[in-house]
Every structure is written in structure tokens, then in C-alpha cells.
Amino acid sequence: MDKMRMESVNITDKNIEKIGKMFPNCITETVDADGKPKKAINFDILRQMLSKDIIEGEESYEFTWVGKKASIVEANKPIRKTLRPCKEESVNWDTTENLYIEGDNLEVLKLLQESYLGKVKMIYIDPPYNTGNDFIYNDDFTINGEQYAEESGEYDDNGNRMFKNTDSNGRFHSDWCSMIYSRLLVARNLLSDDGVIFISIDDNEQENLKKFVMKYLEN
């Protein structure tokens, strides 16, 4: 015989669980009155997920970074494009079961949601490894050095630099994090409940990638 709970269901925990299924990147961890870890909602990120504009607020390089909110906007932004078939370049157009799509991968991922939302069994991506070259994107989340310095507090009130721009601080990684984050958010929507994603990466960003997958894609 199962032991009786002797208490009602915690509605707050149930609501957090529901939000976590829809927006796993909004789940964070805190401690209760007894010092035990428990799940909580990052309401700043939740508000950003539900807004098409960038919500004001500080960002820093940890599980967040300068440009993260803009990358969420970019991931959620609708596009007015469509896929155009190229029959003259195709092989066995009427009978093939394969599909090759050429285009910006973020835009293609958005278009695929129309027909493949929650239906994809396996995704494999091979993103840039961030080996030191500058990223150049058309997306709104790219930032320059002056903008990063202003938003991250790189300088104090007197204009003195607070830290160096080495490969261990935020600016070196921020553009890459924004690039991969927006694409992972959209790609996750395509995966079926038993779907998996494989990603090729090297040591430059593998630690950041682990954080993305463990925190934002685990559900």
C-alpha cells in the first residue's frame, strides 16, 4: 500500500514544472529555508522569451552574457520567407525521400518548424569553433567592443579598464554564445520527445556548450 502524502500538491512547484517544459532556459536553482536546492523561475529570461523587444537589465558572462537577451529576440522573431524548390538541380525529384536545404541555418530552422515541430529524431550540427577570428553576422545580436565595454561594466566611472579582453573573459565568447544560443533554442523545438542532438566542437567553446545543453536543452 502506498504511503499517503498527508499534504496537498504544491501548486507552485507544479507551475514551475509546466513553465520548465515550455521554457527550460528560464529554470534556475535556488535554496529553500532549509538550505536545500530547489528549482525557480528566472523571470527576467521568461519576460524576454515573451517579448519581441529587448528587455532592459544587466547582463554578465556566466550563464548569461552581453547579448543574450538580443539572441532570444532573434530566435523568436518571425521571418517572411519560404523555401523555393529547385527541381532542375534535384535528383529523382518525384521519388526521393531526402531533402537538402541551402540557406542561413537560423532562418531554415524557423521555416522547418512549420512542418517538423516536435517531429525530428536526430539533429547534427557543426558550428564555428570560435578559434579567435571575429564573427560577422547579419543578426541583431552582434556587438562591437565599445558596446560590450559599456554594457558589461568593462570600465569604471572614471574610464579605467576593469579587466583585460583575454579569451577567458566575456567579450571573446559573447558573439559565439549568442550565435549558438539562438539556433539551439529553435532546434530544440524541432526535436521529438525521444530526439537527440549531436554537436561537433573543440576546446575553445566546449565548456560553454556543455552549459547550454545541460541547462537549456535537458528537458
Exposure string for 70-83, b = 16+ CB within 10 A, e = fewer: bbbbbbbeeeeeee
| Model pLDDT for residues 90-140, shown as the tens digit of each residue | 999 999 989 899 988 999 999 998 889 899 999 999 888 877 655 554 444
Rg of the chain, C-alpha, whole Å: 21
DSSP 161: B
pLDDT band, residue 6 (cuts 50/70/90): very low
Cell 561594466: give the residue.
153
pLDDT of residue 135: 53
Cell 541551402: give the residue.
102
| Model pLDDT for residues 163-182, shown as the tens digit of each residue | 444 455 456 678 888 888 88
pLDDT at 70 over 90: no
Neighbours of 40 (CB within 10 A): 15
For residue 162, report the phi and psi dihedrals to the nearest 5 degrees. Answer: -85, -30
Q: In the chain, where are the structural domains located?
A: 61-216
For residue 4, with 0-12 CB atoms within 10 Å meaning exposed, 13-18 middle and 19 or more buried, which class applies?
Answer: exposed
For residue 143, with 0-12 CB atoms within 10 Å meaning exposed, 13-18 middle and 19 or more buried, which class applies?
Answer: buried
pLDDT of residue 121: 95
Angstrom distances, CA of residue 120 to CA of 77, 109, 124, 190, 197:
21, 11, 11, 6, 10
pLDDT at 79 over 70: yes
The pTM score is: 0.63
Residue 195 and residue 219 in contact, taking contact as beta carbons nearer than 8 Å: no
pLDDT at 82 over 50: yes
